[in-house]
Amino acid sequence: MARILKRGELKVGNLVNHILYGREWVAIILKFSRKPDTLTTKYRALVRMVPGTRYESFFKKYTAKMKETDSQGWVSINWLISLEDTRIKEE
């Protein structure tokens, strides 16, 4: 019987996809915010886009509050899913 891993097991060092952008959006989690965002009350993850992928300069269009560099920035953890979670595991 196949099962899908539970979401929410994100850790520093995980490779992740963005729910809206799919498997072409690949990043690694560098750290998590200590406090939730004041507007959304959601925690954020600092991610670095994987070089050579379609979205490697994903943060180029964002404001300074959201980005650290063109390839590194903050994303709500609600939008992230671990690459392991996107594969079906056999029990």
Distance CA 85, CA 16 (A): 9
Residue 15 one-letter amino acid? L
Q: Flag whether pLDDT at 76 surpasses 60.
A: yes
The model's pTM is 0.78
Q: Selecting from 1.10.10, 2.30.30, 1.10.3470, 3.40.50, what CATH number does the domain 2-90 have?
A: 2.30.30
Q: What pLDDT, in 10s, does the model give residues 13-49?
A: 999 999 999 889 999 999 999 888 877 788 999 999 9
Phi, psi of 84 (to 5 degrees): -65, -30
Nearest to 17 by CA among 75, 78, 80, 76: 80
* Strand order across the 15-18 sheet: 67-69, 72-76, 44-49, 22-32, 15-18, 80-82
